[in-house]
Structure 1
Amino acid sequence: MASIAAAYDLGFINRSEALNRLKKTIDTLFKLKKWHGIPYNWYDAETLSPIWGNFISSVDAGWYAAGLIVARNAFPELYENISKLIDMMEWDKLYDASVKRLYVGYDSIKKHYTSGHYDYLAIESRMASIIGIGSGKIPSEHWYALKRDMVSYKNISFLWGWGAGLFIYYFPGIFLDERGSFISRSTINVTIAQIIYSEDHGYPVWGFSPCDIPGGGYGMKFDVVTPHASTLAIIYFPEKVYLNLKMLEEMGVRTSLGFKDSISMVSGRVDEDFLALDQGMILLSIANYLNSSIWKYCMKDVIIENALKLINEYNIPNEVLNAYNFIFNNVTDAVLNLIMEEKLPISAMDKLLKAKLLFGSGNYNLALKYARECLTLIESYNVSETKLFVKDEIERAARNIDNARKENRLSFIDKAESLYNDAKKLYDENNFVSAYVKARIARFYASISKVTPVTKKTKMFLSVVNKVIRYPEEAVIKGNISPPISADILIERKVNNLWKGVKIVSINGNFTFTLKLNPGNYSFRAVFYGLDKYLPCISNTINIVVLKGVRSLNITGFKKKATVGENITFSGEISPMEEIENITIKITDPSKKVAEKVVKIDENGFFKCIFKVNIKGVWQIEVVVNETEKYSSLKEVYKINVSEIEKPETISSNIQTLLTIILIVILAIVILLVYRRSKIRSETLNKLLYF
């Protein structure tokens, strides 16, 4: 959503197209199932059902809300609709008041929070904290409970931020204008630390952050450079970023589609993927640098304004702000202008970097002193210094190439020589920046060039035990490589006509491994990248179909017969219960009236439904478990015969008459007997009196 605003501001799309894209996005967001108004982390793009564990992430909820905030201010036509999505987010549900910090997230299937919290200030969760506080759903004391531990590299101090990847420090600053703040000073210093780290290790480029790793995997390594990391720093170091991106372009990282995700400083291998997240960060960073696109929409929002009133770090003294503007705007622009003119003011650039380091360390007066000296050097710029510097770089490249040839390290030598020749030509044309870039990359390729050994061809074959399996069954894949060697191979999956590494497998001749796959159609191959005297090879492609899993339903409480007015307990167990929290039970009475009940499943898969049968006849109970990403739907029908309460049968009228007569006769006999007995007693009494 923020990228739509940036694309509109930069003129890539018109307002009509921007609104059309945004409306579709907002319409979809309203359809998504949420947890207390907060989206799950991942959804199936076709069914819109939550997938991959139904996890809710605090940090990603922050980015979601930040995108909505930008969108509602960039496109007021949609303000009211977007605000509904923002207002429904219950931030307090992700807040642990006992430690005054945000949980990392919540697992809605296991129904428990993560054990860890986002506990540092200088990390990407800062955005979620700001929005939670500004919305009034998290107390401001949370902000001051965040850790502010300091670390350093070569006496360059900065806030600790979970591994020192630039994404972690910079991403909140894409939305929040943090320029000149205490947080920005730490971000400036960690960037300088990365620049110096690269120089110390002989790398021509810098920018370390989580990314796709060439050869497979995702993460952060300090020998893998990703273009988005340095682009994030463009707001503070445009002069450094410009040179860095030009070098990455010479290394084959830039294409017509933008920058590929990373390049290894050890092997020189370029990752072939384009990650949407990283491309988005590049776009938003450039938009902010050119016209403050994202800042101007985010910073005026009422939620952000409310939060910043409660947070000291964003109250920047005027003298600090003035120093920042002079160093990072006036002086930096002067240096950048010379670089753009193919001049390379080396001494001035060194002074400027020192000024920025001092500013980041809070030494504003000394920072201003170095910045003024930098400005003086720019005003008295002498091209002879640049020529000597670039000439020296070209000569160093030549020496590296010669050494590589002498040592028979020829794997990158052709590329190095081509760049070297281009550098000499550009130098003669006084294009010193381009000449320096090519010479520096030539020197790099010559230094990492490897010996090309006498090699043997290899061949690899894959087969799958069962081409069609049903989730959660694992796919069993067998293979062999000849000659039979011990090595690591990369298993790749074909996605959108691109091969993407998914698993590294250690092999020794014949091998077997398993893959746990979600339902779908898959194509795999194995790649051996070569080893010692063995050439690389790629296996055949195998195809696997994974069908959706089947659930079982075990009814433990159920009776087939009942009487009118009876309460029926219908209970059972669903297995497995993965991906579901409840089931639907449809109860149809004899009159065809349907009552639908949504019944929750407990953590063990058990459920219970109680209902009353009040009509005689056949009742139908249908249990419905909806289809999910991994499992097919399940429907089972049960029937109950309901009858009236049994009563004594009615006696026929003839029998009633007969019984009446019998009763009358019996009564007459009784009366007669009583009369006769009474008469006898009377006669006896008279006789006694007579005597």
Structure 2
Amino acid sequence: MSHQPHLRSIPLSRRTVLAGGLAGAVTAATAAPAMAGPGVGPRKPGPLPAGVDRATLLRWAEDTWASLVAMTPSATGLPADNITGDLSTRSGYTSPTNIGGYLWSAVVARELRIITPGEAQRRIKRTLQTLSTMEHHEPSGMYANWYDEATGEMLRIFPGSGDPIAPFFSSVDNGWLGAALWVVKNSVPSASKQAGELFDRMRWDAFYNPGTEPEHHPVRPGGLMHGGFFAWEHDRPGEVYQGTHIDAPDVWLTTHHYDTIVSESRIASYLGIMTGQVPPEHYFAAWRTFPATCDWSWHEMQPVGETRTYLGIDVYEGAYTYRGMLIVPGWGGSMFEELMPNVFIPEEDWGPRSWGENHPLHVRAQIEHGLEDAEYGYWGFSPASDPFANYREYGVDLLGMNPVGYLSDHPGTNPDLGFGDCRPATNPDPEYGDGVVTPHAAFLAMMYDPAAAFHNLSRIEDELGAYGPGGFYDAVAVISNTQAQRYLSLDQAMIMGALGNVMASDLLQRAFSTPEVEAALRPILAMEEFGTGTA
């Protein structure tokens, strides 16, 4: 079985996780000069729903952008991974995901008129110039996981701890940088050529294991994406093997592959398919759920569903049952896994019988978990800073296949409903503790339920006070009001991306989803029917 839990074997202190353009100007209330090129028309035009105050959203966006500015040395244009709640102390390291998040956030800040087009251009070009000089894996065009944000130097020693770093090239981290470069290419004319050159040299097939040749590590039909590779000799028996999928010297590829569809990793799959470097069959290789048979009874609960065939690949269209809803789960049950790729791809429009059902159901399930099931009074669960330590993966356990769970509270309540007749339940009626909510999760949900998200976030600010000079603090335990008074650039960038879509007529979706991207991806998403709905 190829599934392993999201590179847990890779020693990272922070699990990090993007031709055409925009059509005309955005709404008068938020418009900046129109971006160049044809694009996909807005999906949700018009005013915000009753109870959602645009001025408050803009204030939140302004403060969130201020945190990203504070994280970013002007000499390099590389944002730190995180910064203290008073915006005074940067982390000393950054990643491709962080850099990508800063780039798309600058585009959003421009469209919301938080910064001028000139400032956005200067910031973006500074970042691209630094990227063009940074050490990277030249055959694939990919970047390593950790760099010094002040110099752009690839890190071999981790700041603070002094632990050695073996530079690792992550498929999902490079996916978010690639997505951002594609957005910039299509929405910032003065930076388009430079962003396009960086994007065009990225080889997504360097991560793609077709599994069709004996020397390749075997994977599911359709082929899967490796977690990544080490470019230099690396001794991790059983965790890596020497090889290559492109015409280049061997690297040390992970035996771990991303093999669940509800995962942030699908951004790399989309990039590979849309560039023609990865075949469309790959989209159907990932699990929707693991099987329902007793020999798979280790995962969270027994799914229901049926097998369908797409492009010659048999897909078990399984779903978990939660509060009367049939939902395709992720690995951990976080909002990040479900909705971050949706910031760029209009999955709900292109896949109306799959993501068009799963995304709103997942949002509803997170809301019901926080307000009705666990009765925290607040909701929104996703990996974030830990109010009680450093970092933790929060989620709704019953929306994830991980049997250990991304839990929603402190110290951590793990419900267990059993697995049909295969495994008895051990904790079917849990009593939850101190719920930990993560504001960026509610911002992602705002793309589907803006009124509920706005009300939730307003209460987090007004009642809990989990808000500082850079916007919402990264997480808060709502019973004890213990706050993680820190800002993570990835989480801040997700907030900016979601607000760009909500306030500026699907800004990032339109920037990303050019006609050629739509032609490559929409037919694939359109053919699938998840096993979602109501029980």
TM bin (shorter chain):
0.5 to 0.7
Q: Name the SS of the counterpart of 1:173 in structure 2.
A: helix
Q: Is the 8 A contact 2:325 2:361 kept in 1?
A: yes
Match of 1:21 among 102, 106, 123: 123
Rounded to whole Å, the distance in 2 between the matches of 1:314 and 1:57 is 29
Flag the 1:63–1:118 CA change in 2: closer, same or farther, 3 A.
same
Match of 2:514 among 300, 312, 317: 300
How much does 1:46 deviate?
3.9
Flag the 1:239–1:360 CA change in 2: closer, same or farther, 3 A.
farther
The alignment status of 1:240 with 2:452, answered yes or no, reads yes
How much does 1:68 deviate?
0.4
Rounded to whole Å, the distance in 1 between the matches of 2:330 and 2:254 is 19
Match of 2:359 among 183, 187, 194: 187
Match of 1:104 among 220, 227, 238: 227
CA-to-aligned-CA distance 1:648-684 (integer Å, 9 cap, x gap): xxxxxxxxxxxxxxxxxxxxxxxxxxxxxxxxxxxxx
The alignment status of 1:209 with 2:412, answered yes or no, reads no
Flag the 1:112–1:163 CA change in 2: closer, same or farther, 3 A.
same
Q: Name the SS of the counterpart of 1:56 in structure 2.
A: strand
CA-to-aligned-CA distance 1:77-113 (integer Å, 9 cap, x gap): 2222211111111111111110200001112231421
Tell me the equivalent position of 1:67: 180
Rounded to whole Å, the distance in 1 between the matches of 2:358 and 2:531 is 6
How much does 1:193 deviate?
1.5
Rounded to whole Å, the distance in 1 between the matches of 2:192 and 2:515 is 11
Tell me the equivalent position of 2:193: 80
Q: What amino acid is the match of 1:191?
A: V
Rounded to whole Å, the distance in 2 between the matches of 1:40 and 1:315 is 34
Q: Name the SS of the counterpart of 2:225 in structure 1.
A: strand
Tell me the equivalent position of 1:42: 146
Q: What amino acid is the match of 1:117?
A: H
Q: Name the SS of the counterpart of 2:326 in structure 1.
A: strand
Rounded to whole Å, the distance in 1 between the matches of 2:197 and 2:484 is 40
CA-to-aligned-CA distance 1:392-418 (integer Å, 9 cap, x gap): xxxxxxxxxxxxxxxxxxxxxxxxxxx
Rounded to whole Å, the distance in 2 between the matches of 1:175 and 1:314 is 20
Tell me the equivalent position of 1:682: none
Rounded to whole Å, the distance in 2 between the matches of 1:306 and 1:112 is 34
How much does 1:245 deviate?
0.6
Tell me the equivalent position of 1:138: 278
Rounded to whole Å, the distance in 2 between the matches of 1:210 and 1:12 is 28
Q: Is the 8 A contact 1:183 1:313 kept in 2?
A: no
The alignment status of 1:227 with 2:439, answered yes or no, reads yes
How much does 1:217 deviate?
2.3
Rounded to whole Å, the distance in 1 between the matches of 2:130 and 2:119 is 17
* Residues 657-672 of structure 1 mapped to structure 2, 5 A cutoff: none
Q: Name the SS of the counterpart of 2:273 in structure 1.
A: helix
- From the two aligned structures, give the one with the greater helix fraction: 1
Q: Name the SS of the counterpart of 1:136 in structure 2.
A: coil
Tell me the equivalent position of 2:486: 273
Q: Is the 8 A contact 1:69 1:301 kept in 2?
A: no
Q: Is the 8 A contact 1:73 1:301 kept in 2?
A: no
Runs of 4+ in 1 over 3 A off after TM superposition: 312-316, 359-363
Q: What amino acid is the match of 1:34?
A: H
Identity %: 34
Tell me the equivalent position of 1:497: none
Rounded to whole Å, the distance in 2 between the matches of 1:248 and 1:56 is 37
The alignment status of 1:162 with 2:331, answered yes or no, reads yes
Rounded to whole Å, the distance in 2 between the matches of 1:239 and 1:204 is 16
Rounded to whole Å, the distance in 2 between the matches of 1:215 and 1:31 is 39
Q: Name the SS of the counterpart of 1:38 in structure 2.
A: coil
Match of 1:151 among 320, 328, 331: 320
Rounded to whole Å, the distance in 1 between the matches of 2:475 and 2:515 is 35
CA-to-aligned-CA distance 1:420-452 (integer Å, 9 cap, x gap): xxxxxxxxxxxxxxxxxxxxxxxxxxxxxxxxx
Q: Name the SS of the counterpart of 2:347 in structure 1.
A: coil
CA-to-aligned-CA distance 1:485-508 (integer Å, 9 cap, x gap): xxxxxxxxxxxxxxxxxxxxxxxx
How much does 1:301 deviate?
6.0
**Higher normalized contact order (CA 8 Å, seq sep 6+, divided by chain length):** 2
The alignment status of 1:176 with 2:316, answered yes or no, reads no
Q: What amino acid is the match of 1:190?
A: H
Rounded to whole Å, the distance in 1 between the matches of 2:281 and 2:192 is 30
Rounded to whole Å, the distance in 1 between the matches of 2:443 and 2:348 is 16
Rounded to whole Å, the distance in 1 between the matches of 2:288 and 2:282 is 13
Rounded to whole Å, the distance in 1 between the matches of 2:229 and 2:492 is 28
Corresponding pairs, count: 321
Q: Is the 8 A contact 1:204 1:247 kept in 2?
A: no
Rounded to whole Å, the distance in 2 between the matches of 1:65 and 1:184 is 25
How much does 1:179 deviate?
2.9
TM-score, normalization by structure 2: 0.57
Q: Is the 8 A contact 2:169 2:231 kept in 1?
A: yes
Tell me the equivalent position of 2:260: 120
Rounded to whole Å, the distance in 2 between the matches of 1:212 and 1:170 is 19
Flag the 1:314–1:47 CA change in 2: closer, same or farther, 3 A.
farther
How much does 1:267 deviate?
2.6
* Residues 282-301 of structure 1 mapped to structure 2, 5 A cutoff: 282-291=495-504, 292-300=506-514
Tell me the equivalent position of 2:475: 262
Flag the 1:267–1:168 CA change in 2: closer, same or farther, 3 A.
same
How much does 1:162 deviate?
1.1
Q: Name the SS of the counterpart of 2:202 in structure 1.
A: coil
Moved more, 47-56 or 228-237: 47-56
CA-to-aligned-CA distance 1:95-142 (integer Å, 9 cap, x gap): 111020000111223142122111111111111101111111111111
Flag the 1:282–1:85 CA change in 2: closer, same or farther, 3 A.
same
The alignment status of 1:92 with 2:211, answered yes or no, reads no
Question: Larger Cα Rg: Structure 1 or Structure 2?
Answer: 1
